[in-house]
A and B are shown apart, each in its own frame.
Chain A
């Protein structure tokens, strides 16, 4: 019996991929009957859309959910300290800048550890988002994660689902798409979050494995609570015996039976496998654990590293989007960011160093991004009619006025490490003064995705036939990788 994730990693790449597709599709492309999405290019010779040669085998997305203000993180501008009575118009950054390991790159105070690994990074300062009118975080997050602005006429797959669908797992027992740190129940905008945290029309085989609490991740790959391994194994053994001792198999197609049992076997294999230890961050040596232990995000980074080591394909770790919390600073932004930076600084740097020391960084693309940037005054972007959503003051009278409290879509920062991107490289530029719009090499979600996908060996033109229409991995298939970001 073939495991649905199984394919021969030693086979020539294109061949392996086709085999993989054939097998993976057993459970998945069937899910919608004849209306199931069909990969349009993978026919007889498969040469039509040339997939680029992969530079990375795995990707970790570090998601700064809620809108990370670039002027207070990776794109510091003129700094004005807090002073009662100071006009807000004078403030662009609320932190001074600090030097990094790269001469021409300065970033914001509070990111001292990340500063030390910027010599392995490509820093994009010109990421831009469309003006969608009044800002709704989850709408921009949907856009960033699927490449499409909602609403859409079909359920769009998450980027992780695309990667899972096209490339499959690196290791057959590790689910190819793992999502760490985001609760989908009991938080604001949860329905909007669920709308893109999905494999969409690809069906649930490619859906994310959601691990909202890194410290509890081990539970999700263990037998149910209170069931020791021996009982779990016994249960499976007798289950198989019962399922197989059905001699006439009356009124049951072999196909339906086999397909279901194959999935049950697949689940059992992971739940029983050695790789499941990768999910247990408590097995990490204490010294190493502590380096990451700044909070849920930090522990999420540790979990991501362990999973990538074990063969995960797409892992996302988020600081978690909860309306008005974390990066979503509608008030008191400066103080909140001090905390946010202390939460992300050490674990991100450690993640990069750990991947490097394990020889994994070259083949793992780490991408830090957010749905948009923030600004002290401007909502949306120049010319936008987005409604203001934060208290407006002309002069700061209390500390809570000090921070980037508006959503800004015309210039945000993205940092990439490993996976074949240039090291110590700066790409794009925003205006030095407000409005800090991207003035050099602006790059939208479509081209950014094309770049990430290209690193992973997936053509930005990869297309599936859905409801008899083509549906591309990048909008319209028009994403163009910025090839000048790659190289040494």
Chain B
């Protein structure tokens, strides 16, 4: 019994903590099983009240310290405490119950109450169980707040001068660990591509890199990848969406309780906005576009006090920017770290628009929270200021150059992404001790020195010798010994990386995406400088839009414009959108269609144009349940050396109410064409910039659409893309059986591979006319290319032998499909090594 209770591995203290967290009070008696002794609630208050002053911390009156169970059992000058369930032999019990004033504890005051004595007696009977890890003594590690510039150790050799290597080489030398070997170029290029832009290098890119004889080719490669803005942005979008719980669908959107920050985030990344500026705009939004993070998710109905949007604000800020968990403290003073209910509510009150009642465990305690923040050493929030001003103050305090915890948190997250293991790990536990303080502190000050430049941070890490070291050889999942740097730890591809890589190999990427963004760098529109690409169109509709009339719901019209070309232009691209729904044909070819007027579609029409007469035809439908505004915007730019011509929606366009069929044809001749009407509505203001930018950006020739721009589908969900209802800092590191099933027989992946096999087969087709030897050669070349693209290496002899045994004399398309499957199922493929 004694042993059982003593080794009781779960903590009633913590149970109570959670009891509060969920707002339903304390632990009650159990219906089944044995109730563990509740040290935290029964005994701890008694010890604190009557004994702590003289027997805890540095105080050891009479030689007795109650700091820990061990020190208590060791006893003091009058001897050790006896472990016995018999109360008569317990020194402790004797001292608190005796009538002898010389012996009684505490010596002053009325002593323990009957209830308190009963608690001590039960405690003695239970074998004096203690709270695991609890001590009255000095508290554990407290991370420093201020930045620190560590002195760098001398380089271990002249070619290892990178600050990271100076620190880590010294670290390894101190642990008597041998230097680590470097990886080959072919491993490096794959690792770097996947880490920085989330894509596989193509065989050509790999070959070019391998063939480059220059000494600084690795550094050049890092720079060139970081310069690939679109790919960089669309890879890191995954990390930031997780971190800022942003997504294109999810809980809360249905009731309008949540907004996206996608557009803002995309632009911040593509412009490499400094991280401190990003944080400021997330905390104190300059516009609605970055407000979704601070505003959180508002569920319909009533929520517990620990989950209001104000408290979410405190929790999200703490977790995302500081790696501090305020979830405990949102409900009661935390038992596991130093954060208190007031800390959490102070932060929440900065955001709150009205006085915020502090609730402890979902019950109001009759106090109003005062706006404040966690590190007032750096400055205080003016509690009297209005909310926008308070947020601004908070934003500036959070990003204060002296807030070392802010910079340490982000550099640690990036280190974790590239090196597989945080300097503080897990990355949300920033209250705990790093395995190398100098490394963390150096990276943090260096990051601030470089103006919070995220790309520079990546450059710094990736250009170290440490980054190009061989991967750590992990024999078990979690080592029981303390972490020591043994090279980067291999990381499983994220769901998005895997999907992107398969799309690269199979040409299966979709052409449309869900993120409400314009790909590429936003273009500054200078209204004072008219350009040929400036928009010239107007929003148009039918007669029903002629004021004061309002178009009825469900109105369906066809709009037409014709123009004549004497020669084909070099380029023809444009933008279109319609409130609410449209399909666009140019010369009978379906060019675009969509149902969301808030997003603009860009299109390339060059292939549809012809010399002579050209016809633009749009089917446009109004939505809604009653009369509501409706309008179409279309504009196409034709560019050739002679100049730029605009074809844009205007009141010269014609419309008819006659219906079009699915192919964009009228059932019979139309003879009621009428002139379109310029429509008034909110669209112009909302989409003015988008249209201008869409036209200024030029024809679409963008890189592959990426998985990060697509709503989570069942495959990505299965592979670990989270529901972004909560902040996620670290994805699952291993493949599970259910995931393996989706990969083994799921239709989504099977379809991509099938398409990919056809594509690869077509590339080989030209060589298939020859004899058997030529065919075998062509197959071998194909396999070689697949390996080069997927794994950045040639297949080895035994792998070629296995595949040849498999396929026999001829390589069938189905076999090609199965080979592709096998390659993408290799651990070597699915890990960034």
Hey, which bits of chain A sit against chain B, CB under 8 A? 4-5, 26-28, 30-35, 40-41, 43-45, 47-52, 131-136, 139, 148-155, 175, 184-185, 188-189, 191-192, 194-195, 198, 203-205, 207, 209, 220-225, 227, 231, 234-235, 238-239, 241-243, 245-247, 250-257, 259-261, 263-264, 266-268, 270-271, 386, 450, 454, 459-461, 463, 467-472, 475-478, 480-481, 483
A241 neighbours in B (Cβ, 8 Å): 802
Given A40-B10, A48-B10, A49-B33, residue A477 in contact with residue B798 (CB < 8 A): no
Instruction: Pick the contact of B471: A40, A251, A270 (CB < 8 A).
Output: A251
Given A48-B9, A450-B31, A471-B18, residue A239 in contact with residue B822 (CB < 8 A): yes
Q: CB of B196 within 8 A of chain A?
A: no
Q: A4 to nearest B CB, angstroms?
A: 6
Contact, CB under 8 Å: A235 / B471: no
Instruction: Pick the contact of B426: A34, A52, A245 (CB < 8 A).
Output: A34
Task: Mark out the residues of chain B between 1 and 41 whose CB falls within 8 Å of any chain A CB in the assembled complex.
Answer: 3-4, 7-11, 14-15, 17-19, 21-22, 24-25, 27-28, 30-34, 36
Task: Mark out the residues of chain B between 444 and 502 whose CB falls within 8 Å of any chain A CB in the assembled complex.
Answer: 470-478, 489-490, 492
Contact, CB under 8 Å: B744 / A259: no
23 interchain pairs, CB-CB under 8 A: A41-B9, A52-B32, A131-B302, A136-B299, A151-B725, A153-B21, A155-B723, A155-B726, A175-B737, A184-B714, A207-B736, A221-B741, A238-B822, A239-B822, A250-B470, A251-B833, A253-B490, A263-B739, A264-B825, A266-B740, A267-B741, A471-B18, A475-B22
Contact, CB under 8 Å: B723 / A153: no
Contact, CB under 8 Å: B725 / A155: yes
Contact, CB under 8 Å: A194 / B734: no
In the bound complex, CA of A48 to CA of B10 (Å): 8
Given A204-B739, A267-B743, A469-B328, residue A49 in contact with residue B818 (CB < 8 A): no
Most buried by A among B36, B312, B723: B723
Binds A, one of B92-100, B114-122, B745-753: B745-753
In the bound complex, CA of A26 to CA of B253 (Å): 36
Contact, CB under 8 Å: B9 / A235: no
In the bound complex, CA of A476 to CA of B833 (Å): 42
Q: A205 to nearest B CB, angstroms?
A: 4
B806 neighbours in A (Cβ, 8 Å): 234, 238
Most buried by A among B187, B300, B722, B730: B300
Task: Mark out the residues of chain B between 322 and 336 whose CB falls within 8 Å of any chain A CB in the assembled complex.
Answer: 325, 327-328, 330, 336
A30 neighbours in B (Cβ, 8 Å): 477-478, 733-734
Q: A469 to nearest B CB, angstroms?
A: 6
Instruction: Pick the contact of A243: B10, B302, B726, B826 (CB < 8 A).
Output: B826
Q: Main secondary structure on chain B at its contact with chain A?
A: loop
B174 neighbours in A (Cβ, 8 Å): none
Given A31-B736, A33-B730, residue A44 in contact with residue B7 (CB < 8 A): yes
Q: A139 to nearest B CB, angstroms?
A: 6
A242 neighbours in B (Cβ, 8 Å): 799, 802-803, 822-823, 826
A44 neighbours in B (Cβ, 8 Å): 7
B826 neighbours in A (Cβ, 8 Å): 242-243, 246
Contact, CB under 8 Å: B303 / A151: yes
A471 neighbours in B (Cβ, 8 Å): 18
Q: CB of B732 within 8 A of chain A?
A: yes
User: Interface digits, B158-186 against A, CB 8 Å rule (1 contact, 0 not)?
Assistant: 00000000000000000000000001000
Q: A32 to nearest B CB, angstroms?
A: 6
Given A41-B10, A483-B31, residue A48 in contact with residue B251 (CB < 8 A): no
A192 neighbours in B (Cβ, 8 Å): 251, 254
In the bound complex, CA of A259 to CA of B750 (Å): 23
A247 neighbours in B (Cβ, 8 Å): 796, 798
B14 neighbours in A (Cβ, 8 Å): 469-470
Most buried by B among A52, A192, A242, A459: A242
Contact, CB under 8 Å: B802 / A50: no
B739 neighbours in A (Cβ, 8 Å): 204, 263
In the bound complex, CA of A246 to CA of B795 (Å): 10
Contact, CB under 8 Å: B301 / A132: yes
Q: A465 to nearest B CB, angstroms?
A: 8
In the bound complex, CA of A246 to CA of B822 (Å): 13
In the bound complex, CA of A246 to CA of B833 (Å): 15
Contact, CB under 8 Å: B730 / A28: no
Q: CB of B208 within 8 A of chain A?
A: no
In the bound complex, CA of A27 to CA of B426 (Å): 18
Q: B451 to nearest A CB, angstroms?
A: 31
Give A223's nearest chain B residue, CB to CB: B745
Contact, CB under 8 Å: A252 / B828: yes
Given A224-B745, A251-B470, A268-B744, residue A153 in contact with residue B24 (CB < 8 A): no
B745 neighbours in A (Cβ, 8 Å): 220-224, 267, 271
| Interface size of B in residues (CB-CB distance below 8 Å) | 109
Q: CB of B755 within 8 A of chain A?
A: no
Instruction: Pick the contact of B301: A27, A139, A246 (CB < 8 A).
Output: A139
Q: CB of B549 within 8 A of chain A?
A: no
B301 neighbours in A (Cβ, 8 Å): 132-136, 139, 386
- 11 further contact pairs, Cβ within 8 A, besides A151-B297, A253-B472: A5-B737, A151-B251, A155-B723, A185-B714, A191-B252, A195-B723, A220-B745, A224-B744, A256-B827, A477-B27, A480-B30
Q: CB of B773 within 8 A of chain A?
A: no
Contact, CB under 8 Å: B18 / A263: no
A27 neighbours in B (Cβ, 8 Å): 734-737
In the bound complex, CA of A52 to CA of B475 (Å): 37
A220 neighbours in B (Cβ, 8 Å): 741, 745
Q: CB of B429 within 8 A of chain A?
A: yes
Contact, CB under 8 Å: B327 / A225: no
Contact, CB under 8 Å: A252 / B833: yes
A28 neighbours in B (Cβ, 8 Å): 736
In the bound complex, CA of A460 to CA of B30 (Å): 9
Task: Mark out the residues of chain B between 302 and 345 whose CB falls within 8 Å of any chain A CB in the assembled complex.
Answer: 302-304, 306-307, 312, 315, 325, 327-328, 330, 336
In the bound complex, CA of A132 to CA of B28 (Å): 24
Closest 3 interchain pairs by CB?
A: A50-B33, A31-B732, A267-B740
Given A40-B9, A470-B10, residue A204 in contact with residue B18 (CB < 8 A): no
Given A139-B301, A461-B30, A470-B11, residue A252 in contact with residue B19 (CB < 8 A): no
Contact, CB under 8 Å: A194 / B723: yes
Give B425's nearest chain A residue, CB to CB: A34
Instruction: Pick the contact of B738: A189, A205, A231, A250 (CB < 8 A).
Output: A205
Give A258's nearest chain B residue, CB to CB: B827
Contact, CB under 8 Å: B428 / A35: yes
Given A191-B251, A268-B744, A469-B17, residue A251 in contact with residue B827 (CB < 8 A): no
A198 neighbours in B (Cβ, 8 Å): 723
Given A34-B425, A220-B745, A461-B30, residue A260 in contact with residue B737 (CB < 8 A): no
A231 neighbours in B (Cβ, 8 Å): 814, 818
Instruction: Pick the contact of B725: A132, A195, A204, A252 (CB < 8 A).
Output: A195
Q: A195 to nearest B CB, angstroms?
A: 5
Contact, CB under 8 Å: B18 / A476: yes
Give A248's nearest chain B residue, CB to CB: B796
Give B722's nearest chain A residue, CB to CB: A155
User: Interface digits, B781-815 against A, CB 8 Å rule (1 contact, 0 not)?
Assistant: 00000000000000010110011011000000010
In the bound complex, CA of A238 to CA of B740 (Å): 17
Most buried by A among B32, B36, B722, B833: B32
Give A255's nearest chain B residue, CB to CB: B474
Q: CB of B681 within 8 A of chain A?
A: no
Contact, CB under 8 Å: A132 / B7: no
In the bound complex, CA of A30 to CA of B489 (Å): 14
Given A48-B9, A252-B831, A260-B830, residue A153 in contact with residue B750 (CB < 8 A): no
In the bound complex, CA of A148 to CA of B492 (Å): 31
A271 neighbours in B (Cβ, 8 Å): 741, 744-745
In the bound complex, CA of A386 to CA of B301 (Å): 8
A477 neighbours in B (Cβ, 8 Å): 15, 18-19, 27
Given A151-B303, A271-B741, residue A459 in contact with residue B32 (CB < 8 A): yes
Most buried by A among B3, B253, B806: B806
